[in-house]
Chain A
Amino acid sequence: MGSWKTPENRKYLKTDEWLLLEGDTATIGISDYAQDQLNDIVFVEQPSVGTVFAAGDVIGVVESVKAASDIVTPVAGTVIEVNQVLEGKPETINSDPYDKGWIVKLKVSDASGADGMMDAAAYSAYNDGR
């Protein structure tokens, strides 16, 4: 069984993205489980600030040496900030997937996509069953 961290204040997708909603700002990253599966992350492809996305769109890609994983946004919105740290130090996601390793911040236009997401307990149980 896994010992992956799953902070309570976030919601999760089955594809291992996490979402933190604060007002109309959504922060998106990938979970501890996902970074563990990918192993050493070598590159993160991020969108440009100002890009508009619908819920379910691919907003970027996280790459390790042997795998690549799309990052999907659960909510619709416009990119207001990308994590610049990841450009030089993509491994930040490995060491701190929830805080320093966040990927994108969106100004949310429609948060309804968040409704179907798992809470921390459900996501932990889901990971244990994989």
Chain B
Amino acid sequence: MNSEPLIYDISVAGREGANLPEADVPLAKLPADLMREALDLPEVSELQVVRHFTNLSRKNFAIDRQFYPLGSCTMKYNPKLNEDMARLAGFAHLHPLTDASGSQGALALMHGLQTWLADIAGFAAVSLQPAAGAQGEFAGILMIRAYHHERGDEKRTKILVPNSAHGTNPATVTMAGLSAVELPSDAKGNVDLEALRAACDDTIAGMMITVPSTLGLFDSNILEVIELVHACGGLLYMDGANMNSLMGIVKAGDLGFDVMHYNLHKTFSTPHGGGGPGCGAVGVNEKLVDYLPGPIVQITDPGQEPDLPPFYELVMPRKSIGQLKAFHGNFGMHIRAYAYIRSYGGGGLREISNHAVLNANYIRVRLQDAYHVPFNRYCAHEFVMEGHWEDAPDIHALDISKRLMDYEIHPPTNYFPLIVPEALLIEPTETEDKQTLDSFIEIMIKIAEEAKAQPELLKEAPHNTPVRRVDEIRAARQLMLCCRPEPDWHKAEEKTE
């Protein structure tokens, strides 16, 4: 594929890409002394813009194009209906500071979603404020800290985090001004109970734990873990990143978790958008209800059926940890998740988890001879295997990933969780059909054979992608982060070339 020039490189002075009206009011005098002179933006036609971004799009792998078994990311089908719903004029063109009386439709939708999410995970209340999972985690740890603080329990400064955790967990703890204490995993991939017991004391503010774990396993000791932390006075945070295997299977609140974030952009199909936006709604039990980040939607007048509907308003929880972003969260994501839950209904949500888990186990069993699966038991919606063989010592997980690209499949997650060497974390999701899984399995088996017979095929992969392996070292040593303004060293280099 030819390389697509930068939009700046096709710019021609005087060309226009937007059709704006002339002023229909008298022209005011412009404040000359405050005005800028240069503004170096591209000058291109509308068709050039369409072609440029269409051509660029063709360089991406995406769920709409191919299988995307990227572990821990839940790359399921993003229904088109949801995109249309988010673009309805009454949602898309609604100002966030519209009074409650003028935004009852939007508030009713948010209230519905809050209520459903609370039920799905067994919590007393939900806030839709957090814009992403990491912000949900931050909200959760701030709530835990506020809870202890209010009780005068200031010595609780530590949060336990298993060594298999997402990096966001320890980073969140630091952001909240607490310290993360890493816990080892045992041979089965569960939290090491002995280490947990030893760590539990009156300095523990809480524990963050992903369920099922980042290894894709239900921790069979989970109730004991929760009991131990509660017994020492700590609260339990569940990272809901892996909730795609839990809907209708088990509720976090029932297990004893005090707070959890949902990733609407994983479990509830809102698109990943090449990095975002997302929504990391948080749910809490009664202990933490008053601390939720706000505003949240509440019914302030129940109304009277059938003629007088309830009245919804945005309210700040009584002891809220505060506002996490301007306005009311990523409302566009709320709309999509609402439409998604409506599409499945209560019974259907369980089918999501059933089939996500069925698909993952099917791949696991069919690949267990060709690859080493370190924790080889029934997995949840994903499982981890090792991308390395003793009889192909030069081949690493990364090489397998790159080779998969040649077969038009997006690689699994590499090198995470950190506790499995050469990890390949595979998450098929429920929306993939058996034929797609079979084809992936055959390709993975073929790559395992290639790794031994023709390792150079893997080492030099990918061969057929828009670019080959890229020079990340050059990118980091000779920082070139934008073409406008152009860094001095780059200008100098071009002259000498």
Residues of A within 8 A of B (CB): 40, 42-43, 63, 65, 90-91
Contacts and interface: CB of A to CB of B under 8 A. Distances in A.
Nearest to A39: B473
A65 B472 CA distance: 7
Interface in B457-497: 472-473, 476-477
Given A43-B477, A63-B476, A65-B472, 9 more contacts: A40-B473, A42-B473, A42-B476, A42-B477, A43-B476, A65-B473, A65-B476, A90-B477, A91-B477
Nearest to B478: A42
Interface string B288-314: 000000000000000000000000000
List 9 tightest A-B contacts by C-beta distance, closest first: A42-B476, A65-B472, A40-B473, A42-B477, A65-B476, A65-B473, A42-B473, A43-B476, A90-B477
12 contacts: A40-B473, A42-B473, A42-B476, A42-B477, A43-B476, A43-B477, A63-B476, A65-B472, A65-B473, A65-B476, A90-B477, A91-B477
Contacts of B472: 65
A2 B38 CA distance: 58
Nearest to A88: B477
A43 B474 CA distance: 11
Nearest to B489: A88
Contacts of A43: 476-477
Interface residues of B, number: 4
A65 B475 CA distance: 9
Contacts of A42: 473, 476-477
A43 B475 CA distance: 11
| Residue among A63, A65, A91 with max Cβ neighbours from chain B (10 Å) | A65
A40 B464 CA distance: 27
Contacts of A63: 476
A91 B472 CA distance: 14
A66 to B, nearest CB: 8
A63 B472 CA distance: 13
Contacts of B473: 40, 42, 65
A90 B476 CA distance: 11
Contacts of B477: 42-43, 90-91
Nearest to A63: B476
A87 to B, nearest CB: 11
A63 B477 CA distance: 10
Interface in B236-285: none
Nearest to B474: A42
A58 to B, nearest CB: 14
A77 to B, nearest CB: 27
B401 to A, nearest CB: 14
A51 B476 CA distance: 27
A49 B447 CA distance: 53
A40 B476 CA distance: 10
A42 B471 CA distance: 12
A2 to B, nearest CB: 17
Contacts of A90: 477
Nearest to A89: B477
Contacts of B476: 42-43, 63, 65
Contacts of A65: 472-473, 476
A43 B476 CA distance: 8
A65 B415 CA distance: 14
A42 B477 CA distance: 5
A32 to B, nearest CB: 19
B8 to A, nearest CB: 26
A18 to B, nearest CB: 24
B473 to A, nearest CB: 5
A40 B472 CA distance: 10
B394 to A, nearest CB: 16
A70 to B, nearest CB: 14
A89 to B, nearest CB: 9
A91 B477 CA distance: 9
Interface in B179-199: none
A17 to B, nearest CB: 22
B418 to A, nearest CB: 12
A43 B473 CA distance: 10
A65 B474 CA distance: 10
A93 to B, nearest CB: 13
Nearest to A42: B476
A79 B184 CA distance: 38
B179 to A, nearest CB: 15
Nearest to B471: A65
B399 to A, nearest CB: 15
B280 to A, nearest CB: 26
Contacts of A91: 477
Nearest to B477: A42
A36 to B, nearest CB: 16
B397 to A, nearest CB: 13
Nearest to A91: B477
A42 B472 CA distance: 10
B101 to A, nearest CB: 52
